Amino acid sequence: MRNSDRLPPRELPKRRSGRHRNPLSFDNWFGTPALIMAVPGTADRARGADGESIGARMADLVRAYRPEVTIRYGHTEGDEQSLTEALTDLKDDQGSPLSAVVVPLVTAPHAGTSAAIEEAVARTGAEARVTEGLGPHPMLAEVLHLRLAESGYVRADRMRLISVVARDTTMADGIIVGAVGGEAAAGAAGVSAVLLAARLGLTVLPADLENEAAVEQVVGQLRQGGCRRPVIAPSALGPELPREELEALAARFGARLGAPLGADSLLGKIAALRYAEVLNSLGVEQPPTVEELPAPVGSRHRPES
């Protein structure tokens, strides 16, 4: 016989909040402010071999996550495709507290980029919020792994068994995660270094690429640990430092140089996450009140007659 006191499955609210909600979602009562990506350096430095800007490629990747948002990019240096131009003539939705959210395309705190963004926002008078950079973030370690694997310096799959010897002489036996932006950037690169070491089963150390003494010290640590084939993996999209300077730095210390991160779908996802984080931080995301919760059902909750 059916138990009449058994409660039927309770229906959850259609919209979930808290730590189980979609991190890419946000409250859109104020519309969708433009997502402006700040590309470090000049437009010439940000162009790849095919002539396409890394900003344009990143805009296409972010658009896959935020198709409803106006997406622009601008460079922090030079007059061509500048950040000031990207922040000009933004659509102003009536009643919206924001016209733009600026996402710096850097993987760690970078004083020069931050100063350029502040100047561009002040010059245009745009109602804009600036997010954190793309790092530190766990997904950066995965992108670093992909770039190293594409260059043939590490295996493409994650470590299965611990091995103290690389498979052949072309593979790295030690990795330097190169940061751009000073001591704070090197600290952020340390997060990626720990995660990358767990993925590869190799010794991975961070270093500031703009500080030769720091790079020399880290290379010395790897050498003392038995590393003979170190590889520098730049934790940067590319425009931050000229490739020629990085190649000269690697040659000076007897290391090989990996490819920069470049435009990647995972980086596009991080940029979309930063956008959503800023909008949710405005305080419009509130837990539901008792009145907003669905009414409980079942015999135990029937009103007394």
Q: Residue 291: CB partners within 8 Å, gap ≥ 6?
A: none
Query: Are the folds of 32-133+262-279 and 136-255 the same?
Result: yes
pLDDT > 80? residue 5: no
DSSP reduced 3-state for 89: coil
pLDDT > 90? residue 160: no
Q: Give the rounded percent of residues in the chain with a pLDDT score beyond 90.
A: 66
What mean pLDDT do residues 202-209 have? 96
Which of the listed ranges 10-19, 151-160, 222-231 does the model predict with the highest average pLDDT? 222-231
What mean pLDDT do residues 219-248 have? 94
C-alpha–C-alpha distance, residues 295 and 288, integer Å: 13
Residue with tokens 């979609």: 22
pLDDT for the residue 94: 52
Residue 301 structure tokens? 């909750």
Q: Residue 160: CB partners within 8 Å, gap ≥ 6?
A: none
pLDDT > 50? residue 302: yes
Tens digits of residue pLDDT in 9-62: 544 444 445 544 556 665 544 468 999 999 999 999 888 767 789 999 999 999
Tens digits of residue pLDDT in 256-267: 999 999 999 999
Query: Beta strands 203-208 and 230-234: pairing type?
Result: unpaired
pLDDT for the residue 295: 56
pLDDT band at 180 (very low <50, low <70, confident <90, very high): very high
DSSP reduced 3-state for 122: helix
Residue 281 structure tokens? 């931080």
Please give the helix or strand (H or E) that residue 8 lies within, else none.
Answer: none
pLDDT band at 227 (very low <50, low <70, confident <90, very high): very high
Domain range list for the chain = 32-133+262-279, 136-255
Degrees (nearest 5) of the Cα angle 137, 103, 129?
Answer: 120
Better pLDDT: 117 or 3: 117
What CATH architecture applies to the domain 136-255?
3-Layer(aba) Sandwich (3.40)
What mean pLDDT do residues 94-112 have? 87
60-68 contacts at long range (C-beta below 8 A, 24 or more positions apart): 61/263, 61/264, 61/265, 61/267, 61/268, 62/35, 62/37, 62/268, 62/271, 62/272, 64/265, 64/268, 65/24, 65/268, 65/269, 65/272, 66/32, 66/35, 66/272, 66/275, 68/32
pLDDT for the residue 24: 61
Pick the CATH number of 32-133+262-279 from 3.40.50.1110, 3.30.70.3270, 3.40.50.1400, 2.40.50.140: 3.40.50.1400
pLDDT for the residue 52: 86
Minimum mean pLDDT range among 71-80, 179-188, 282-291: 282-291
E strands of 42-182, at which residues?
Answer: 71-75, 100-104, 128-130, 174-179
Residue 113 structure tokens? 């980029």
CA-to-CA separations, 136 to 99, 154, 164, 236, in angstroms, rounded: 26, 22, 28, 11
Residue 231 structure tokens? 């590889």
pLDDT band at 97 (very low <50, low <70, confident <90, very high): confident
Minimum mean pLDDT range among 72-76, 147-151, 160-164, 231-235: 160-164
pLDDT for the residue 294: 55
CA-to-CA separations, 150 to 154, 179, 245, in angstroms, rounded: 8, 20, 22
pLDDT > 90? residue 161: no
Residue 131 structure tokens? 């997010």
Degrees (nearest 5) of the Cα angle 234, 236, 242?
Answer: 80
pLDDT for the residue 288: 47
What mean pLDDT do residues 193-218 have? 95
